[in-house]
Structure 1
Amino acid sequence: MTNTVSGAASAPTYPCAVNPDVLHPLLDGLCHQVLTSSFGSAALMDALSSGLSDVSSLLRGLPAAEGRLIERGIQMIAGLNPELVVLTENIRLPVSKAALDVVERNDPRHYASLTLDADSGGRRGYTPDMIIVSRVTKIAHVVDVKRSLSSYDAVRLQELKKRMLAAALTVPDLLYQEHHRLSVEAVHVVILDAQNASRDPSTGIWPVSDLDHLLGVDGAGKAIAYLRRSFQTAVEQVWREALQHYAQARDLTEDERRAGAMPWADTKRHAPVDRCLSGRDDRIVGVAGSGAGERPEIRIGFASLPSVRPQALS
């Protein structure tokens, strides 16, 4: 896949840009791969034959499938920018009581340059969906991707932010020790809302439409929107095909077939995924201890969008 920079008057000055003709088929293939692994026609046929309980169980797996799809889509698009290092494996971060106390009791300005040892234990931990490091800006973004924040009340969202900030204190040490002496000058946390329903850059909440800025790739946000539409369409297609095969196998009457129409579909919009895909997807794991590290000053805090949007290329 070739990195491109458009010379059009309306194009922002990001170092790379999406080529839809090249990327969309790859995203379609990724969608098919993720969907068939958890929601194939054969699996749905078996569930329909077994009863409503099995069908409901299968549908409940769709939120996690879409979440994985969005994460992998972001990773694929990030690969267009050679300036980025994207980490998705072995990034379990400790969240010690001391780190949480620091975050809860202090203004961010007072602990912005504090770092902790990544190998010190603790009872709790946090595993981000990815850490994105820019070799040019020396900024690491600790990223948590949410397909929707609508199910998060204020308290739960605040707790997530605290865990992310506390975990971010160990990122510089983790990158230096476990990822080829990769060094950063700042660590920012960002929560991506794939439904574009929430935006509060002052506390690190970004709509996925601002993904262009995070990855330095023009068209990244639109590409993820395309991926979600592709997923929704594919889910509906699998459902209809499985229902048709099931009806043929059972030789149902036309009235029975109509009665078996998608129970969670909105015929006016692609709502089935948004209606049946809900639930928690933050990943908390157990870790142990913490300690202070002697490192150069590192800036820790929420990711914020630039106050002035990138200017068009002339």
Structure 2
Amino acid sequence: MTDLHSGAASAPTFLYAVDPEVLHPKLDGLCHSVLSSSFSTTALLEALSSGLADVSCLLRTVPAAEGRLIERGIGLIAGLNPDLVVLTENIRLPVTKAALDVVERNDPRNYASLTLDADAGGRRGYTPDLIIVNKKTRLAYVVDVKRSLSSYDAPRLQDLKRRMLAGALTVPDLLYREHHRLVAGEVQVVILDAQNANRDTPTGIWPVADLDHLLSIEGAGKAIAYLRRSFQQGIEQNWKQARSAEAQYKTLSEQDRRVGAAPWVDTPEPEGLRLRADNRSSRISDAAVHPDRPQVRIGFASLPGLRQAVPA
């Protein structure tokens, strides 16, 4: 494979590159799996029907879900570079008092070659989102992915860095003993800011736009930006559809809902569902509720797990 150059004299060279036509459908699949499992139109509509507390609870989970999605996306993109090993499971790193003392009282250059036992106990620990190991260069990255650093004040961010550095001292031992004798000659700590609002490379803060350098893959940062846009647009689309369906439901008069014939209609007509009440008809588009399903069931809200009987 030929080297890729950006055209700038000082630009880095990468052996591998993202092919959007191949990668984007895979990223779309990751995005769809998260949206359909937790933030589908149905889930949002049920939350709206239940009240503000349920809506708030569901929406508060969006940032965490997006963070996990970014981690999965990075793992998928890293697979384009055969020199990389990406670890995401069973990587809790011990953070001992001795390790914290080393980090707090010394210049990083003084403990750059120090390795601690990964079995060392400690009251505290640190679990990185990813450990990325380049088998060719023997460089290991301890990565913490942050959807945003705006909520981190200086002391909290500094504490995170200390724990990451203290935990990183055990990484060479952990890799060698528990991950098929992987060898790390150097371990570096990276905090990835997905919003691209911060860059302080000397202290380990990278914007996700610099992911190309982390993975040695051209276009990696742009691919994650694409994944975030797809997720955010999907959330927005499902939210609008849920609100539209809820609004249409509320347009039925109280009399319609009290007398209304069948709250559940199994066979929609081609142009929509027909709900009959008091010899009148009202049409609701089933596509507004379940855009990905050919058939929709619409009815009154009930307790979870219970379904109201269909009037004869």
TM-score for both structures, normalised by structure 1: 0.77
- The aligned residue for residue 189 of structure 1 is 189
Change beyond 3 A, Cα 1:146–1:7: closer
The CA deviation at 1:28 is: 1.1
Q: Alpha carbons of 1:153 and 1:241: their partners in 2 closer, same or farther (altered >3 Å)?
A: same
Give the secondary-structure state (helix, strand or coil) at the position aligned to 1:13.
coil
Is this contact kept in 1: 2:143–2:192, CA < 8 A?
Answer: yes
Question: For residue 155 of structure 2, what is the aligned residue in structure 1?
Answer: 155
Post-superposition shift, 1:250? Answer: 2.3
Q: Deviations over 1:62-101 (max 9, x none)?
A: 0111001111011110000001000001101000011001
Q: CA deviation at 1:115?
A: 0.8
| Distance in 2, Cα, partners of 1:37 & 1:14 | 36
Contact 1:35 1:65 in 2 (8 A): no
Percent of paired sites with the same residue: 73
- Whole-angstrom CA distance in 2 between matches of 1:173 and 1:6: 35
1:62 maps onto 2:42 in alignment: no
Q: Distance in 2 between matches of 1:7 and 1:123?
A: 48
Distance, in Å, in 1 between the alignment partners of 2:17 and 2:175 is: 27
| Larger displacement relative to structure 2 (240-249 or 177-186) | 240-249
Counterpart CA distance in 2 for 1:58 and 1:206 is 29
TM-fit CA distance, 1:184: 1.2
Which letter maps to 1:67? G
C-alpha distance in 2, partners of 1:102/1:200?
22
1:93-124 CA distance string (max 9 Å, x none):
00001100110111111111111110111101
Is the 8 Å Cα contact of residues 212 and 221 (structure 1) preserved in structure 2?
A: yes
Q: For residues 19-62 of structure 1, give each alpha carbon's deviation from its aligned partner in whole angstroms, at most 9, with x where no partner exists.
A: 01111111111111112222111111111111111111110010
Mapped to 2, the partners of 1:143 and 1:8 lie a distance apart of: 26
* Larger RCO (CA within 8 A; separation ≥ 6): 1
1:5-24 alignment runs, 5 A limit? 6=4, 9=7, 13-24=13-24
Q: CA deviation at 1:251?
A: 1.9
Distance 1:240 1:118 in 2: 49
Unaligned ranges ≥5, structure 2: 254-312
Matched residue type, 1:179:
H
| Contact 1:4/1:19 (8 A) holds in 2 | no
Q: Secondary structure at the match of 2:89?
A: coil
Q: How many angstroms does 1:9 deviate by?
A: 5.0
Q: Distance in 1 between matches of 2:130 and 2:171?
A: 12
Q: Structure 2 length as normaliser, TM-score?
A: 0.77
Across the aligned residues of Structure 1 and Structure 2, the Cα RMSD in angstroms comes to: 1.7
Runs of 4 or more above 4 Å deviation: 3-12
Match of 1:113 in 2: 113
SS in 1 for 2:140: strand
- Code of the aligned partner of 1:165: L
Distance 1:59 1:252, change over 3 A: farther
Cross-structure match for 1:42 = 42
Q: Which amino acid aligns with 2:155?
A: V
Where do 1:43-192 residues align within 5 Å? Answer: 43-192=43-192
Distance 1:252 1:222 in 2: 46
Task: Please list every run of 5 or more consecutive structure 1 residues that lacks an aligned counterpart in the other structure.
Answer: 254-314
Deviations 1:240-286 (A, max 9, x none): 11111222222269xxxxxxxxxxxxxxxxxxxxxxxxxxxxxxxxx
**Distance of 1:249 and 1:146 partners within structure 2:** 39
Deviations 1:189-240 (A, max 9, x none): 0000000000001101000010000001000000111111111110110001
Q: Contact 2:5 / 2:12 at 8 angstroms: preserved in 1?
A: no
Provide, for residues 102-148 of structure 1, a one-character-per-residue CA deviation record: whole Å limited to 9, x for no partner. 10111111111111110111101000001000011100000000011
Q: Which residue type is aligned with residue 66 of structure 1?
A: E
Question: Residue 54 of structure 1 aligns to which amino acid in structure 2?
Answer: D
Once residues 228 and 128 of structure 2 are traced to their aligned partners in structure 1, the CA distance between those partners, rounded to angstroms, is 21
Q: Structure 2 CA distance, aligned partners of 1:138 and 1:95?
A: 23
CA offset at residue 155 of structure 1?
A: 0.5
